[in-house]
Amino acid sequence: MPTMHRVTVFVDWDTARRLASNREQSVRGVEQVFERLQSAISTSVCAKDRRDGYRVYWRIYHGWHQGKTKTQDRLVFEQYARIATARTIKNISFSTDFELSGSLACNSRRTPIFDTCRFDRQSGEKKQKMVDAMLVCDLLHLVRSKDSSLFIVVADDDDFVPAIFTAEAWNANVMLLHGRAQTNSHLSLHGISERMTFQ
């Protein structure tokens, strides 16, 4: 009898929007990003296992607050989350359970973490702060607590690689999905890193 596995997907939102070629701040824009993510995740998981079932839960990482004020990206995402519907592709079901970065998975008494979107004093450009670190902390905490059968990180940044290596060393089934044509040849990524492909 097939087993149902829980999957936690950690999404670097900037990477996801870039891979979906959609940085539009609209509900439809967010929906299109998730359609592409669902396609890529189902392609990757189904290539390894077509027999068992998988249920995907989302953790989305981005600079969602300027000070304590929600950014426009956050407001649009919340609009999308209110109307999002569950979807199934082959043996993969995608929940509409979205956890947005700021509340750490470890339930620290010091969260939520605000002020993750700031303007650089010199350049005036928007910068994200603490976002990558929150993803790493959540990944390692949930791996240690055996939260899921499979952990997927959607990101293009090599900064996540040491955390993924650590998760693997702790016997987690973990994968990095990225959009790069080539990865760093100096890193041992075979079997743990995969370029996203879409159905």
- For every residue of the chain, which 3-state class applies, written as one string? CCCEEEEEEEEEHHHHHHHCCCCCCCHHHHHHHHHHHHHHHHHHHHHHCCCCEEEEEEEEECCCEECCEECHHHHHHHHHHHHCCCEEECCEEEEEEEEECCCCCCCCCCCCCCCCEEECCCCCCEEECCHHHHHHHHHHHHHHCCCCCEEEEECCCHHHHHHHHHHHHCCCCEEEEECCCCCCCCCCCCCCEEECCCC
Per-residue pLDDT at 1: 62
| Lookup result for tokens 């059968």 | 149
Tell me the CA distances in angstroms from 176 to 30, 140, 196, one per residue in order: 21, 14, 9
CA–CA dist 120, 124 (Å, integer) = 5
Look at residues 105, 82, 85, 101 and name the one whose alpha carbon lies nearest to residue 93.
85
Flag whether pLDDT at 199 surpasses 80: no
CA–CA dist 34, 74 (Å, integer) = 15
Flag whether pLDDT at 174 surpasses 90: yes
Mean pLDDT, residues 171-190 = 90
Mean pLDDT, residues 10-19 = 93
Look at residues 108, 2, 77, 89 and name the one whose alpha carbon lies nearest to residue 37.
89
**pLDDT, tens only, 60-86:** 999 999 999 999 999 999 999 999 999
Q: Considering the entire predicted model, what is its pTM? A: 0.95
**pLDDT, tens only, 115-172:** 999 988 888 888 999 999 999 999 999 999 999 999 999 999 999 999 999 999 999 9
Flag whether pLDDT at 53 surpasses 80: yes
CA–CA dist 53, 149 (Å, integer) = 11
Per-residue pLDDT at 63: 97
CB contact at 8 A, 134 and 117: no
CA–CA dist 139, 134 (Å, integer) = 8
Flag whether pLDDT at 2 surpasses 90: no
Flag whether pLDDT at 19 surpasses 90: no
CB contact at 8 A, 164 and 192: yes
Flag whether pLDDT at 185 surpasses 80: yes
Q: CATH number for the 4-195 domain, one of 2.30.30, 1.10.10, 3.40.50, 1.10.287?
A: 3.40.50
Mean pLDDT over each residue of the chain, to the nearest integer:
93
